[in-house]
Structure 1
Amino acid sequence: MSYNNILSTTNSGITTITINRPSKLNALNKETIQELHEAFKAADQDAATKVIIVTGSGEKAFVAGADISEFANFSVENGGKLAAKGQELLFDFVENLKTPVIAAVNGFALGGGLELAMACHFRVASDNAKMGLPEVSLGVIPGYGGTQRLPQLVGKGRAMEMVMTAGMIDAATAKDYGLVNHVTTLEELMPLAEKLAGKIMRNSSVAIGKAIKAINANYKDGKNGYKVEIKQFGKCFGTEDFKEGTTAFLEKRKANFPGK
């Protein structure tokens, strides 16, 4: 599929989605959000894709925020619709994919950019990365899940401070906060993400998808995460991956998971 604002390539089980608007520091506009939705959906449905990595083009920015020019004149109703549609199309959508998604944060991840990174299943960052939610400096609040996911990841107090001050934190602080899992040089960022993807791909993709569902359930209102875990655990016993994994263990050999 051809895109105007992103690039999507698949190699050795890894689909890499790159936001490619360098002149706008990869800012998210409506078209880019729609294209990202389509690319993530295609990758999740592709049996050849075991892990998705999302990153930004260039060395300056992962995503430097939303394209403010698109909504500067919105009404109350339009603003609400913007947030609802964006969460449905991209941010909630990514969080709930069965395929693992790694955010490789290269440079600025601000506003919608940080919200996209937080919607991914985990994050790695380059040592030049800067992260923040500056929305209150524009008279608005994060609207793509930022007020919910940030406190889940860094705690309520730190999230309150980050949102209220509209400030940025560096990669080392983000790692200290638990916002990112690993920090490395810009040159080693993608190799690190691919190395982690390789470790993931050794395991059952079916089981990983069920683990994602169980972990996410703990953060959803009205969901009992323990009950979801029990249900997903039970479902694993009916999969070919379970049969292969247990058989390989008993036969003292490496498992060759069929992904079914």
Structure 2
Amino acid sequence: MAGLVRRRSLLQAFRACTADRERVCRLSALCFSSPLCGRDHNAPDKSSFARTRAAVRHYSSDPKDDLRVRYLDGEDAGIVVVGLNRPKAKNAISKNLVKMMYDAVEDIKKNNKVRSVILCSLVPGIFCAGADLKERAKMHQSEVGPFVSKARALITELGNLPMPIIAAIDGAALGGGLEMALACDIRIAANSAKMGLVEAKLAIIPGAGGTQRLPRAIGVSLAKELIFAAKVVDGIEACRLGLVNHSVEQNESGDAAYLRALELSREINPQGPIAVRMAKLAINQGIEVDLSTGLAIEEACYSQVIPTKDRLEGLAAFKEKRRPHFKGE
């Protein structure tokens, strides 16, 4: 009976995540004015792409530019790039950035055409410096708790996106910045990137999931060492610890981690989108419970892919020795 209840709850969660399948995203006002993260199909080599991307970075003090969201098209249709863009504040997490990210996450979550998301920075040398301490200093003490709660909830929502999300860490990811990256499914860092939960230096603790997600990523003892000593590690050490999946040599344009994340998104995109979403749900839910319950969760997720047109397309493509064309149906 308990297993049945869990399955029903899981199915309800899945239906909520896949509602409004045909809804068109409403983020046109936030999209880039130029092909910042788009792919140049006429000249697809990485160096040309990197130069193009670096050349059109935008810097602005206008709050509406704090976050830039781009839905890629052409061969990269299905990839969404979410770019942090607060150069003067080192992408620090402000009230406005939290609001804009909430709106972006909500729209991405409801768009069934999205197959993967890349969270990156548009500011060279920085991913996110954590909380906006200048803004925090102006808050009344009674405002701090609610704001931290809202930031924590945002990062949780980010991690709960039904499709894979990759953090491309091309620069410093400290405090809340690393907590944001920890909520992503996969992390890729430049060798020169700096990462750490350094809140103890300010006589506080990580408040947006760091004390929970870091131990799950690298183990309890190592997480304690990094948090207690406010240690900062580079991309190479982070990869050794298991904090990031890949560490790559930084390039001249400062977006090597982003380019590697884009490559990975292109590997994910051709796979069955419903299957990928169900695999993420099964892993995320199953890792928190005992094996028996986890297997029941996997069974419930598997049952969701059986009646899909994509599953039949996959079988037909295998039989006909051709590449499958999945539609998320």
Using the TM superposition, name which of 186-195 and 218-227 deviates more: 218-227
Instruction: Decide which of 33, 39, 46 is 2:111's aligned counterpart.
Output: 46
Q: Does 1:5 align with 2:66?
A: yes
Distance 2:195 2:135 in 1: 22
1:96–1:212 contact (8 Å) kept in structure 2: no
Q: Does 1:196 align with 2:264?
A: yes
2:202 corresponds to: 138
2:299 corresponds to: 230
Q: Does 1:213 align with 2:213?
A: no
Distance 2:327 2:99 in 1: 32
- With the length of structure 1 as denominator, give the TM-score of the two structures: 0.93
Deviation of 1:177 (Å): 0.8
Identity of aligned residues (%): 34
1:26–1:57 contact (8 Å) kept in structure 2: no
Using the TM superposition, name which of 165-174 and 61-70 deviates more: 61-70
1:120 corresponds to: 184
Deviation of 1:94 (Å): 1.2
- Residue 41 of structure 1 aligns to which amino acid in structure 2? E
1:153–1:178 contact (8 Å) kept in structure 2: yes
Residues 56-135 of structure 1: pairs in structure 2 closer than 5 A: 56-72=121-137, 74-75=140-141, 78-88=143-153, 90-135=154-199
Q: Which runs of 4+ in 1 moved over 4 A?
A: none
Q: SS state of the match for residue 28, structure 1? A: coil
Q: 1:222 to 1:31 in 2, by over 3 A?
A: farther
Q: Does 1:256 align with 2:320?
A: no
1:243 corresponds to: 312
2:16 corresponds to: none
Paired residues in the alignment total 258
Deviation of 1:47 (Å): 3.9
Deviation string, structure 1 residues 43-83 (Cα, Å, up to 9, x no partner): 333344321111112221100111123334554x6444333
Q: SS state of the match for residue 161, structure 2? A: coil
1:125–1:189 contact (8 Å) kept in structure 2: yes
2:171–2:192 contact (8 Å) kept in structure 1: yes
- Residue 170 of structure 1 aligns to which amino acid in structure 2? D
Higher strand fraction (1 or 2): 1
| Structure 2 runs not aligned, ≥5 long | 1-28, 31-63
1:124–1:183 contact (8 Å) kept in structure 2: yes
Deviation of 1:84 (Å): 2.5
- Residue 114 of structure 1 aligns to which amino acid in structure 2? L
Distance 1:146 1:74 in 2: 24
- Residue 203 of structure 1 aligns to which amino acid in structure 2? Q
**Which of structures 1 and 2 has the bigger CA Rg?**
2
Cα-Cα RMSD: 1.9
Distance 1:180 1:251 in 2: 38
Instruction: Decide which of 73, 95, 116 is 1:30's aligned counterpart.
Output: 95
2:86–2:123 contact (8 Å) kept in structure 1: no
1:53–1:104 contact (8 Å) kept in structure 2: yes
Deviation string, structure 1 residues 182-218 (Cα, Å, up to 9, x no partner): 1113333222111100100010111111111111113
